[in-house]
């Protein structure tokens, strides 16, 4: 069969049910073959959004999202989404059309050197150079993307190889799965060393990262902590790994972390970091003066080398976090190991009660924090939340208490505006029975506003909570602090009615809220709506994000703002 048909059959073999993309001449043979297969093609408004949707599919499931795009500007449009997935360790496969092999390097129309462009931003870039290995390339890319430290794989596919004929072998998935099997286990000696450190601790703290944000990872840390009951903090990527409604789960740590998370880290004596990157927004606030032993488990060898050099941890293990945690839990069970940290746990519980988040409650304007606080009281287990990037993102991370993994999807390390709605489209296709809610700010929403058209015309049950403060709030706050309050490019005195635009895009529910008294009822209506739904909430332009630990400051210098106060 033709190479394009081999690609479609290979994806069917892998269990792929839908792909995200945008068509064009250099990928048309593949699109035609997919159109004749049982795989659904979801057409986004642009290629960046298609790759974000594929990433949203991956982030919300244990499967790998697939993006299909054409050559030239189409493939460069995916660059930001590929870099975003690379930064957050998200498995993704991008299949990109390319000019014919005899035109490569000749300044041909819509040609670009894919390997040179994507090399630093992808886990792997594969340039297909013969018809005989197309099937192997597709299947290998799928398993490579999800193995070890997950990441995006980009496939550069000349159009002549899509049209050439070869034999399709089929099957053989076990071979590709075995190639990437590498399950390292802790030895009894390593487990003994770990529990020797933990046993000497009276104030241990779990620091949970995205390496645990899967059903396997979440189950493993829950089994471990069912035995030891250690207070926890988490990164942005690890929301829901432990139930955030647990009284000793203190939530987001870092530059915009919760007040209680940023306080408890100053007191711990055993810092157990699992599946984390040691983001600068977290690590640089810690400094080197905190007197705590450090244990670190992660699968990324480069990061492990860096942390061993910078932090001199007392215990490290390079491998899968879920496997390592189960090794520790099993060893503890066999040797009847426990700890007594009741006083420390009560301290964590009291911290969480004593330093609640808060916002302005007496003004006329609706606060973004207020809308998210109301949403949190309405969260259900069948809800998946995606966010854009900005103040609304961090406020969502602070206020929304997630109970399960893979339920809070956001652009963490790369901080890419425009992520929220296309990611929700991917999550919707991966989880057809879930209620998917995209939380966005007006600045981030405008970046990929074309996806409102995608949601509406496809009739997708995506709910958009748009918090419109007529400006770029996070940067505007920085201008207030560091630039004398001069707002050079962060305000929009005149704006559009996004709810009216949504109605033109076939949204059955599209409402705008300006007055605080109407917000609860309209939020309930949004959550109850069927099909595409958008609620635009006009919020306070002057609202600032707190707490904040500014650049160069430590957690001891955390600014609580005008409304967060200790509750006796």
Task: Show pLDDT as tens, one digit a residue, over the chain (568 residues).
Answer: 999 999 999 999 999 999 999 999 999 999 999 999 999 999 999 999 999 999 999 999 999 999 999 999 999 999 999 999 999 999 999 999 998 887 877 878 888 889 999 999 999 999 998 888 999 999 999 999 999 999 999 999 999 999 999 999 998 899 988 888 878 999 999 999 999 999 999 999 999 999 999 999 999 999 999 999 999 999 999 999 999 999 999 999 999 999 999 999 999 999 999 999 887 667 665 554 467 999 999 999 988 998 898 888 999 999 999 999 999 999 999 999 999 999 999 999 999 999 999 999 998 999 999 999 999 999 999 999 999 999 999 999 999 999 999 999 999 999 999 999 999 999 999 999 999 999 999 999 999 999 999 999 999 999 999 999 999 988 999 888 889 999 998 888 788 999 999 999 999 999 999 999 999 999 999 999 999 999 999 999 999 999 999 888 888 899 999 999 999 8
Q: What is the pLDDT of residues 381-390, one digit of tens each?
A: 999 999 999 9
pLDDT at 420: 98
Burial class (CB in 10 A: 0-12, 13-18, 19+), 377: exposed
Strands (E), 76-149: 92-98, 124-127
pLDDT at 290: 62
Domain spanning 3-179, CATH class: alpha beta
Name every residue whose Cβ is closer than 8 Å to that of residue 175 and which is 6 or more positions away in sequence.
none
3-state secondary structure of 383: strand
pLDDT at 226: 97
Nearest-5° Cα angle at 261, 307 to 322 = 50
Gap between the Cα atoms of 499 and 537, Å rounded: 10
Gap between the Cα atoms of 394 and 397, Å rounded: 5
Gap between the Cα atoms of 275 and 300, Å rounded: 9
CA 449 to chain centre: 20
Does the CA dihedral 190-194-196-197 come out positive or negative? positive
Strand partners, 539: 366
Q: Domain boundaries in the chain?
A: 3-179, 188-354, 368-542
- Let me know if the fold of 188-354 is the same as that of 368-542: yes
Does the CA dihedral 217-223-224-226 come out positive or negative? positive
Look at the block and give the residue holding tokens 């969502």.
Answer: 396
Would you say 452 and 36 are in contact if contact means Cβ atoms under 8 Å apart? no
Give me the count of residues in the chain.
Answer: 568
Strand 18-21 and strand 249-252: pairing? unpaired
Q: Is omega for the bond preceding 298 within 30 degrees of 0, making it cis?
A: no
CA 331 to chain centre: 32
pLDDT at 283: 61
The domain over range 188-354 is classified in CATH as 3.40.50.1220: yes
Would you say 161 and 311 are in contact if contact means Cβ atoms under 8 Å apart? no
Superfamily of domain 368-542: Thiamin diphosphate (ThDP)-binding fold, Pyr/PP domains (3.40.50.970)
Q: What is the pLDDT of residues 281-319, one digit of tens each?
A: 676 655 544 679 999 999 999 889 988 988 889 999 999
């Amino acid at each position: 069969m033709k190479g394009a048909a081999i690609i479609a059959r290979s994806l069917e073999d892998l269990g792929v049910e839908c792909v995200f993309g945008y068509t064009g001449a250099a990928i048309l043979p593949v699109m035609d073959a997919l159109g004749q297969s049982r795989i659904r093609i979801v057409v986004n408004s642009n290629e960046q959004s298609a790759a974000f949707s594929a990433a949203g599919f991956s982030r919300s499931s244990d499967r790998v999202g697939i993006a299909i795009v054409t050559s030239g500007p189409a493939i460069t449009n995916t660059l930001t989404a590929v870099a975003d997935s690379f930064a957050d360790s998200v498995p993704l496969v991008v299949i990109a059309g390319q000019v014919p092999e005899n035109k490569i390097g000749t300044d041909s129309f819509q040609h670009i050197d894919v390997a040179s462009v994507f090399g630093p931003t992808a886990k792997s870039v594969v340039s297909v150079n013969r018809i005989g290995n197309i099937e192997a390339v597709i299947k290998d890319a799928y398993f490579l993307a999800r193995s070890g430290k997950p990441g995006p794989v980009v496939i550069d596919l000349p159009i002549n190889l899509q049209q050439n004929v070869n034999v399709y072998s089929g099957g053989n998935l076990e071979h590709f799965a075995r190639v990437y099997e590498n399950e390292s286990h802790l030895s009894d000696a390593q487990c003994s060393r770990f529990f020797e450190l933990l046993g000497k601790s009276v104030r241990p703290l779990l620091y949970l990262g995205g390496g645990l944000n899967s059903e396997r990872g979440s189950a493993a840390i829950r089994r471990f902590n069912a035995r030891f009951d250690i207070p926890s903090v988490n990164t942005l990527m690890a929301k829901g790994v432990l139930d955030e409604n647990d009284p000793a789960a203190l939530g987001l740590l870092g530059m915009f972390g919760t007040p209680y998370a940023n306080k408890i880290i100053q007191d711990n004596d055993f810092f157990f970091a699992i599946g984390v990157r040691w983001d600068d927004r977290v690590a640089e606030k810690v400094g080197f003066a905190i007197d705590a032993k450090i244990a670190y488990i992660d699968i990324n060898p480069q990061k492990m080398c860096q942390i061993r050099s910078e932090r001199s941890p007392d215990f490290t293990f390079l491998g899968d976090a879920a496997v390592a945690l189960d090794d520790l839990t099993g060893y503890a069970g066999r040797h009847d190991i426990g700890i007594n940290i009741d006083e420390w746990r009560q301290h964590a519980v009291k911290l969480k009660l004593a330093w609640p988040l808060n916002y302005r409650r007496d003004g006329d304007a609706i606060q973004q924090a207020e809308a998210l606080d109301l949403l949190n009281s309405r969260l259900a287990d069948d809800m998946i939340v995606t966010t854009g990037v900005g103040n609304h993102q961090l406020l969502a991370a602070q206020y929304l208490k997630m109970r399960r993994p893979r339920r809070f999807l956001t652009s963490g390390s790369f901080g890419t505006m425009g992520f929220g709605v296309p990611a929700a489209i991917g999550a919707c296709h991966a989880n057809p029975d879930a209620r998917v809610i995209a939380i966005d700010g007006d600045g981030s929403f405008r970046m990929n506003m074309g996806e409102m058209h995608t949601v509406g015309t496809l009739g997708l049950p995506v709910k958009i909570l748009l918090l419109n403060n007529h400006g770029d709030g996070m940067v505007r706050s920085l201008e207030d602090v560091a630039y004398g309050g001069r707002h050079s490019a962060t305000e929009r005195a005149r704006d559009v009615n996004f709810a009216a635009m949504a109605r033109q895009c076939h949204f059955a529910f599209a409402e705008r809220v300006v007055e605080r008294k109407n917000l609860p009822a309209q939020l309930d209506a949004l959550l109850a709506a069927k099909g595409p739904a958008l609620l635009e909430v006009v919020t306070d332009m002057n609202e600032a994000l707190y707490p904040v630990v500014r650049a160069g400051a430590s957690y001891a210098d955390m600014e609580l703002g005008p409304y967060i106060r200790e509750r006796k």
